[in-house]
Amino acid sequence: MGFILGLRDDAKVLVKCRLAFYKGKGDWHNKVVRYWNNSLYSHVELILPDNTAISITPFDTRGVRREKFEDNLNEWDFLTIEINQWQYKKLLTFYDETKGEKYDWIGMLTSQFLPFHVKRIGRWYCSEWIAYGLRLAGVIHKVYAHADLSPQKLYDLIVVEERIKKRLK
């Protein structure tokens, strides 16, 4: 009985996380991502309430990582999402399970050319990791209705999900 009450309590307490979408000039690969996806954004990070960001980038050998978010705020657009404690714990568990996993070059590139999503086990790209984590936590749905999941597509999915939540309130 105590577990059920604890779960309900976890569902009541909300925390705010932010999704940071990179729109800054960046390097050559940022330009390629934007051009290929006809997108304003080339990268995304999940910022937790303690201002640490979970991310993975293609040329960083650390893989999935969590570190303080200290970038130039003018180079990013932010979406705030409210999640409950249970969802937050799910995200942190997913991070613990995937920490250090490497960038998914094969999955990211082949998903651009094929009409279905290609996923290498234990490999991620930024928007894919965040979308999967948010789906596991029950924050977003229909993630794999898309053959590829660029930062722009994730942005659009979050905006739609937030509109649906507001209508249901």
pTM attached to this predicted model = 0.84
> Any idea which architecture 2-168 has in CATH?
Alpha-Beta Complex (3.90)
Residue boundaries of the structural domains of the chain: 2-168
Give dist(CA 6, CA 4) in Å, integer.
5
Nearest to residue 155, comparing CAs of 51, 37, 31?
A: 37
Q: Which helix (H) or strand (E) holds 46?
A: strand 43-47
Around Cβ 85, how many Cβ atoms within 10 Å? 16
For residue 17, which amino acid is it? Answer: C
Better-scored residue on pLDDT, 161 or 133: 133
Q: Helices 126-136 and 85-98 meet at what angle, rounded to 10?
A: 140
- For residue range 68-110, list pLDDT tens digits in order: 998 889 999 999 999 999 999 999 999 999 999 987 765 666 6
